[in-house]
Amino acid sequence: MQVGIFGGTGPAGSALGARLASVGYSVVLGSRSTERADEVVRGLVAEYPEIADHLAGGDNLAAAKCEIVVIATPWDGAATTAQEFAKELDGKVVISMANALVRVGKEFQPLVPPRGSVAAHVQAAVPNCRLVAAFHHLPAKELGHLGEPIDSDVLICSDFPSATEVVIEMVNKIPGCRPLDSGELSNATAIEAFTAVLLQLNVRYKTRVAPKLNGIKGDPRERK
């Protein structure tokens, strides 16, 4: 399965792309500049030669033509970028991982977009896609350390159960990650905002934290 990433040359997008390539997905790192995308791919392949056959660079159109598309752009450009390629995204699973945040002094604070979340804003901009909110809380640096597991839960929410299942399968392939179906897309508001708390903990304790929820036993995909 081929995955395209808008914002694929940024820290989060490139790290997720490399990680997905390492577990067998064919990944296109999209960018407004194909040259920039190719440069990032060369750097990743130089560090991890084993992903060479699964990772390519391209412009955002090339990314939009993939079967699954991830939006890893800065939050304020997520909906605009998606809308530009609405025709290509029609009917596809589109994953929003952007968080609307601002740093005020030493504090991180969440911003609430007019529709409640970045994910909801993207869904409104591209109403015919199957939008999923996921991957908000994975630390980019650790995500890009291929070969090392990431001890983290991944909270997933969507109004499309079939799209949720696609992303659950994707997360299950990433060593150390546990996918959790977190309900409908309206819950993206809380999920995105919680990222500010995690970043604040990183600053205060000089670490990189990732969420791990206790009390869920067995296969979390087994829902009543």
Which CATH number characterizes residue 112's domain? Answer: 3.40.50.720
Q: Does residue 211 fall inside a structural domain?
A: no
Strand 93-96 relative to strand 26-31: parallel, antiparallel, unpaired?
unpaired
Element (H, E) at 64: helix 60-64
Degrees to nearest 5, angle at CA 134 with 161 and 196: 140
- In the prediction, which pLDDT does 147 show? 87
- In the prediction, which pLDDT does 106 show? 82
- Does the pLDDT at position 220 exceed 80? no
Q: Does residue 83 fall inside a structural domain?
A: yes
- Does the pLDDT at position 181 exceed 60? yes
As a whole number of angstroms, the distance between CA 55 and CA 107 comes to 36
- Does the pLDDT at position 47 exceed 60? yes
Q: Does residue 86 fall inside a structural domain?
A: yes
Q: Does residue 35 fall inside a structural domain?
A: yes
Strand partners, 110: 101
CA-CA-CA-CA dihedral for 155, 223, 95, 89, to nearest 10? -170
Element (H, E) at 75: helix 75-84
> Which residues, in sequence order, are CB contacts of 105 under 8 Å at separation 6+?
none
- In the prediction, which pLDDT does 223 show? 55
For residues 78-99, give the mean pLDDT. 97
Using pLDDT thresholds of 50, 70 and 90, give the confidence band for residue 127: very high
- Does the pLDDT at position 138 exceed 70? yes
Say which residue the tokens 């001890």 belong to.
Answer: 151
Using pLDDT thresholds of 50, 70 and 90, give the confidence band for residue 222: low
Q: Does residue 7 fall inside a structural domain?
A: yes
State the total domains in the chain. 1
Q: Does residue 224 fall inside a structural domain?
A: no
As a whole number of angstroms, the distance between CA 99 and CA 119 comes to 9
Domain range for 18 is 2-205
Q: Does residue 214 fall inside a structural domain?
A: no
Instruction: Give the chain's count of helices (H) and strands (E).
Output: 9, 10
- Does the pLDDT at position 199 exceed 80? yes
Query: Could you tell me the pTM of the whole model?
Result: 0.95
Q: Does residue 61 fall inside a structural domain?
A: yes
- In the prediction, which pLDDT does 224 show? 47
